[in-house]
Homo-oligomer: A and B are copies of this chain.
Amino acid sequence: MYPEEKFYRLTAIAESLLKQKQYAQLRGMLLPLEPADVAQLMDSLSGESIPLLFRLLPEELAGEVFVELTPEHQQQLINDFSNSELRAVLDELYLDDAADIVEEMPPDVVRRILAHAAPEMRTGINQILNYPKDSAGALMTTELIDLEQSMTVSDCFQRIRREAENVETIDVCYVVDAGRRLTGFVTIRALMLAAYEDTVGEIMDDDPISAVTQEDQESVARRFGRYDLTAMPVVDTGGRLVGIITADDVMDVMQEETTEDIQKMAGMLPSETPYLRSGVRQISASRLPWLLLLMLSSTFTAQIISSYEDALAACMVLTSFITMLSDTGGNSGAQSSAEIIRALSLHEIGIRDTGRVLWKELRVALLSGVTLAVVNFGKMMLVDRLLMSNPAVTVTVALVVSLTIIVTVVAAKLLGALFPILANQVGLDPAVLASPFITTVVDALSLLIYFGIAVLLLHI
């Protein structure tokens, strides 16, 4: 059963229970649900019922649900909370979640949150908010268990037992020196396997893979996956341990970044708001710029065509293949660019591979182009000429179109592969230069090639 199906049903039940004021039953229905599910349910209900529903939840669940709600509803609840209610919810939050929430709130709400947060949380939030958006520092939580080399395994167990409640993971503990510089890490597994009297120094792994607070979250996510980590320590520029990033945060980042790439490759400005929650103006704003740019840039194609008007007038049948040619070129280019952009973002290829890539694309292009050309030639002869008995479709015309296909596909695939690599090299985002842009360039090219060949072979 698809999740959405499940929620349409849950929502229906919840709504009727709300109408009948069957709050006990409603609570009973919510208790066994996962926080994320309760949150989605609440988000799908009408605004006024949210505070009511929220107050039905036991404290701990309430905290976890709160994190998953939309910023709009979080704000609504905070405004609705009494100070003690607000304090209760904040106490249930992990620091990095609290920071994420604060980031979304207007100044007055932020002030109120900071005013009622526990002192450590307040300092933590302020610290995290000082890091650039989408940086490791903004992603991390500062709640972690740090150990010193001199501690024995049983010391560690004591500290872990004492602090486990306040940290997101105890899977890995990090080792710092007197200057709080990160010197190594110990997995809970290593602790389990060691003798109680062993010291941390003896059992720790002394080259942890760490992130610097300023590092971009995308590169953090990439290394996280590459090295199969469950947690990554974050150090400041002085090498001092300041926080930790956990796998669940990284999965969210991977999802975000993918959405961004897909949006850019489809010629949109990336937006972080989920589709249904973005307004019409917001969506249009993210789509219009490229559409406009691309529309205007096709002035060139228009110029090219009109400059060949006489040639076309002399052989009208040529016009009917213009769109097919520009589509085939556009699609070929889009394929190459999509593949290269993905390979770049997975760091499978770099600038040094340009030669290999182009050589590969050239051969792929020739193989594809010739195949397409042959099929097209046959199709024009059989379908257009014989079947549709269109006398204008001569062997020469079919030849012109087919040759154009080959040259266009080759040009499209080479450009489609080259643009992203160059963009990446000069520090531009390759995804932005993707399909739509290449389509336009390839259009102009394919037309020039088309008419060039036509004039040559048809003497028009």
Q: Using a CB–CB distance below 8 Å, which chain A residues touch chain B?
A: 2-5, 8, 32, 34, 36, 157, 160-161, 164-165, 169-171, 188-189, 192-193, 207, 209, 224-230, 247-248, 250-252, 254-255, 258-259, 261-263, 265-268, 274-276, 280-281, 283-284, 287-288, 290-292, 294-296, 298-299, 301-303, 305-306, 309, 312-313, 316-317, 319-324, 326-328, 330-332, 334-335, 337-343, 346-353, 356-357, 360, 363-364, 367-368, 371-372, 375-376, 379, 383-384, 388, 390, 392, 405, 409, 435-436, 439-440, 443, 447
Give the docked Cα–Cα distance between A72 and B407 (Å): 35
| Inter-chain contact B319/A274, CB cutoff 8 Å | no
Q: A409 contacts which chain B residues (CB < 8 A)?
A: 291
Give the docked Cα–Cα distance between A290 and B409 (Å): 14
Give the docked Cα–Cα distance between A342 and B276 (Å): 12
Which one of A254, A356, A405 has the greatest number of beta carbons of chain B within 10 Å? A254
Question: Which residue of chain B lies nearest to A34 when distances are taken between CB atoms in the complex?
Answer: B227
Given A4-B347, A305-B320: A160 in contact with B368 (beta carbons within 8 A): no
Give the docked Cα–Cα distance between A443 and B435 (Å): 17
Q: A36 contacts which chain B residues (CB < 8 A)?
A: 226-228
A424 to chain B, nearest CB (A): 9
| Inter-chain contact B292/A372, CB cutoff 8 Å | yes
Q: A169 contacts which chain B residues (CB < 8 A)?
A: 171, 230
* A-B residue pairs in contact (CB < 8 Å), sample of 21: A5-B350, A169-B171, A171-B230, A258-B258, A262-B265, A263-B338, A265-B265, A265-B266, A266-B435, A275-B339, A276-B353, A284-B371, A291-B332, A292-B371, A295-B375, A303-B320, A305-B322, A306-B390, A309-B317, A326-B326, A327-B330
A169 to chain B, nearest CB (A): 7
Give the docked Cα–Cα distance between A298 and B275 (Å): 32
| Inter-chain contact A328/B295, CB cutoff 8 Å | yes
A104 to chain B, nearest CB (A): 18
Which one of A251, A254, A337 has the greatest number of beta carbons of chain B within 10 Å? A251
| Inter-chain contact B296/A368, CB cutoff 8 Å | no
CB < 8 Å neighbour of A440 from B299, B327, B348: B327
| Inter-chain contact B324/A301, CB cutoff 8 Å | yes
A12 to chain B, nearest CB (A): 11
Give the docked Cα–Cα distance between A367 and B287 (Å): 11
A357 to chain B, nearest CB (A): 8
| Inter-chain contact B157/A170, CB cutoff 8 Å | no
A446 to chain B, nearest CB (A): 9
| Inter-chain contact A436/B379, CB cutoff 8 Å | no
Give the docked Cα–Cα distance between A238 and B376 (Å): 55
| Inter-chain contact A276/B230, CB cutoff 8 Å | no
Give the docked Cα–Cα distance between A274 and B342 (Å): 10
Given A252-B225, A276-B353, A435-B435: A267 in contact with B331 (beta carbons within 8 A): yes
| Inter-chain contact B274/A348, CB cutoff 8 Å | yes
Q: A3 contacts which chain B residues (CB < 8 A)?
A: 226, 347
| Inter-chain contact A343/B267, CB cutoff 8 Å | no
| Inter-chain contact A436/B331, CB cutoff 8 Å | yes
Question: Which residue of chain B lies nearest to A290 when distances are taken between CB atoms in the complex?
Answer: B331
Give the docked Cα–Cα distance between A165 and B171 (Å): 15
| Inter-chain contact B309/A2, CB cutoff 8 Å | no
Q: A348 contacts which chain B residues (CB < 8 A)?
A: 274-276
| Inter-chain contact A192/B331, CB cutoff 8 Å | no
Give the docked Cα–Cα distance between A226 and B67 (Å): 12
Give the docked Cα–Cα distance between A332 and B4 (Å): 27
CB < 8 Å neighbour of A309 from B319, B363, B435: B319
Q: A4-B350, A284-B371 are in contact. List 16 more A-B contacts (CB 8 A).
A: A32-B207, A36-B228, A254-B255, A259-B346, A266-B335, A266-B339, A276-B349, A288-B367, A299-B324, A299-B384, A302-B320, A303-B388, A305-B319, A306-B392, A313-B313, A313-B316
Give the docked Cα–Cα distance between A368 and B347 (Å): 36
CB < 8 Å neighbour of A193 from B164, B171, B360: B164
Give the docked Cα–Cα distance between A26 and B427 (Å): 34
